[in-house]
Amino acid sequence: MITFYEVEEQAGRRPLRPLPAITTFDDLPPDSIYSSFRTFNGNTFLYLEEHLARARRSAARLGWQPLNEPILRRAIHAARLPDEPDVRIRFDFWADGRVLLALIPFTPPPAAFYRDGVQVQTAQGIGRRDPLDKTADFVQARTHYRQTHKNVYEFLLIDEDAILEGFTSNFYGVRNGVLYSAGEGVLEGITRRIILELLPALNIPLMLETVKTAGLPALDEAAMSSSSRGLLPITMINGRPVADGRPGPIIHKLMRAYDEFVGGAVKTALE
């Protein structure tokens, strides 16, 4: 169940006004900028400032009025769901300055996904209008696509024969000890930024290049990342195993490093 709130700016008032008439994201106008992330231990967040900065850059590119970040931080800090230790939060805002928060109970991926990996599939005939702007019109398009292509954990966006990113994630391939990830044409993923910053200390070389669909059989490992899932191994693409069909050592090393990083980097919304 999703709970929606409008973020209000009146001084001295609680910054969240419940919106019981809104029950799904389909009830929202599609022309918003949005970002989503999870809480850690109830009221701390990982790189919240980067989510806000990305939204700020998108608003500037579109010529919108600036997002009121202090008010939004107050709202995020106050956001809670009864009896839910952690939640996934999504904020949407529009050109006129209206801001909504959506709160969703957070259920992490099953432990088996991190242990055994997940299966993904390339998607045809769908893409983002502008990868630099996280806009809600793409959410509606991908929701429709999922409804007509069921039983797939994640879909990968492609440009001709190049894999760009997932519907809700960034994509990585490993070949001969080198990590590959698209250098352009993809969303500025917050978790992706952390992953790439961890590479030098782990002595993992990086190539900011796309993996070609024709090169999938040559991959030794693959993975995807997002704010709510962290880093997840991919062990099957388009019904074919990646290498031997098991998560490999480089992705395992990155997963451990990411988990250690998160423990020391989370902060409240007001810090």
Q: What is the pLDDT of residues 159-192, one digit of tens each?
A: 989 999 999 999 999 999 999 999 999 988 999 9
What are residue 172's DSSP bridge partners?
Answer: 223
Rounded to an integer, the average pLDDT of 93-114 is 95
What are residue 194's DSSP bridge partners?
Answer: none
The CATH 3.20.10.10 domain(s) of the chain lie at: 111-264
Is residue 243 scored above 80 in pLDDT?
Answer: yes
- The predicted pLDDT at position 13 comes to 62
Give the span between the Cα atoms of 60 and 40, in whole angstroms. 30
Q: Report helix, strand or coil for 89.
A: strand
Nearest alpha-carbon partner for 175 in 235, 239, 221, 119: 221
97: amino acid identity, one letter: G
User: Rounded to an integer, what is the distance from CA 237 to the centroid of its chain?
Assistant: 20
- pLDDT tens digits, 72-86: 999 999 999 999 999
Domain boundaries 3-105, corresponding CATH code: 3.30.470.10
Give the span between the Cα atoms of 195 and 193, in whole angstroms. 5
Least confident of 164-168, 218-222, 229-233: 164-168
Which are the contacts of 49, defined by CB distance < 8 A and separation ≥ 6? none
The CATH 3.30.470.10 domain(s) of the chain lie at: 3-105
Where do we find the tokens 């419940």? 18
What are residue 263's DSSP bridge partners?
Answer: none
- The predicted pLDDT at position 26 comes to 87
- The predicted pLDDT at position 11 comes to 52
Which phi and psi angles does 77 have, rounded to 5°? -65, -35
Is residue 200 scored above 90 in pLDDT?
Answer: yes
- The predicted pLDDT at position 14 comes to 67
Least confident of 3-12, 38-47, 106-115: 3-12
Q: Report helix, strand or coil for 116.
A: helix
Which phi and psi angles does 243 have, rounded to 5°? 55, -120
Q: Angle CA(157)–CA(48)–CA(60) in degrees, nearest 5?
A: 70
Total count of residues recorded for the chain = 271
Sheet holding 87-93, edge to edge: 16-18, 3-7, 99-105, 87-93, 33-38
H or E stretch covering 194: helix 190-202
Which phi and psi angles does 151 have, rounded to 5°? 65, 30
- pLDDT tens digits, 113-150: 999 999 999 998 888 877 777 777 787 778 888 877 77
- The predicted pLDDT at position 151 comes to 77
Rounded to an integer, the average pLDDT of 55-74 is 92
Q: Which residues of 7-28 are buried (b: 16+ CB within 10 A; e: fewer)?
A: beeeeeeebbeebeebeebeeb
Average pLDDT, the chain: 92
What are residue 102's DSSP bridge partners?
Answer: 4, 90
Ranges 137-146, 147-156, 253-262, most confident: 253-262
Please give the CATH topology (third level) of the domain spanning 111-264: D-amino Acid Aminotransferase; Chain A, domain 2 (3.20.10)
- Cβ atoms within 10 Å of 59's Cβ, excluding its own: 19
- Cβ atoms within 10 Å of 55's Cβ, excluding its own: 24
User: By CB neighbour count within 10 A (0-12 exposed, 13-18 middle, 19+ buried), where does 199 fall?
Assistant: middle
Q: What is the pTM of this model?
A: 0.92
